[in-house]
Amino acid sequence: MLSGEEFGRLFETFERSAFRLETLSVYDVEEEREEFERFLASGDMGPDWDDNPWVRSMTDKGKQVSRVHVLRSPLTDYLRYELAAYPGNMTAGESIGVIDRAEQDVADLPDHDFWLFDDRDVYRMHYTPEGAFLGAEPLPAHRLAEYQGYRDRALADAVPFADYWERHR
């Protein structure tokens, strides 16, 4: 399994596209704790999130970044925080969709997060029950078509984030 640092290097080396399927209602990210507390107090992400520089570092090089977040409303505090950051990600060029299982009956998607890079490398993400990152497991080549199918189904079923956020903000 790749550590956080090892996995992070993949975002510097992929060539064309990165897709993420997100499935957790809470992610325990040490670097976000202070910002999360500020968000809970104010309900606002602040101007630092108007244009996500991490996403921009990829899209400015012509790379495509996209995700679908599979969730269930009502939203947890963490999901409200995470989704409040998405407009800045979109400004930076990320394409984001949402599948709300409370509104859509979507079958055949995994119950875990994964990243698909350049339509050829798949990493299953592992987390503790509390949402702390444990590592990224590179999946063997024979699983690629399965995860490409998951990506395609998620993208086909997802509601564009802007439409979802308009109804749930």
pLDDT digits (tens, 9 = 90+) for 124-142: 999 999 999 999 999 999 9
Residue range 98-119, pLDDT digits in tens: 999 999 988 789 999 999 999 9
pLDDT above 90 for 48: no
DSSP E strands in the chain: the ranges are 17-22, 64-71, 95-100, 114-117, 121-127, 133-138, 159-160
Dump pLDDT digits (tens) for 66-87: 999 999 999 999 999 999 999 9
State the pTM of this model.
0.94
Q: May I ask the CATH architecture of the domain 4-168?
A: 2-Layer Sandwich (3.30)
Percent of the chain with pLDDT over 70: 100
Taking the C-alpha atoms of residue 86 and residue 94, their distance in angstroms, rounded to an integer, is 9
pLDDT at 105: 84
pLDDT the model gives residue 47: 73
| Distance set, CA 71 to CA 5, 38, 102 (Å) | 27, 23, 8
Q: Which two tokens stand for residue 48?
A: 């630092």
How many alpha carbons fall within 13 Å on the CB side of residue 8? 5
Per-residue pLDDT band for 44 (boundaries 50, 70, 90) equals confident
Give the Cα separation of 57 and 14 in Å (integer): 12
Going from N- to C-terminal start, the domains of the chain cover 4-168
CA distance 137 to 16: 21
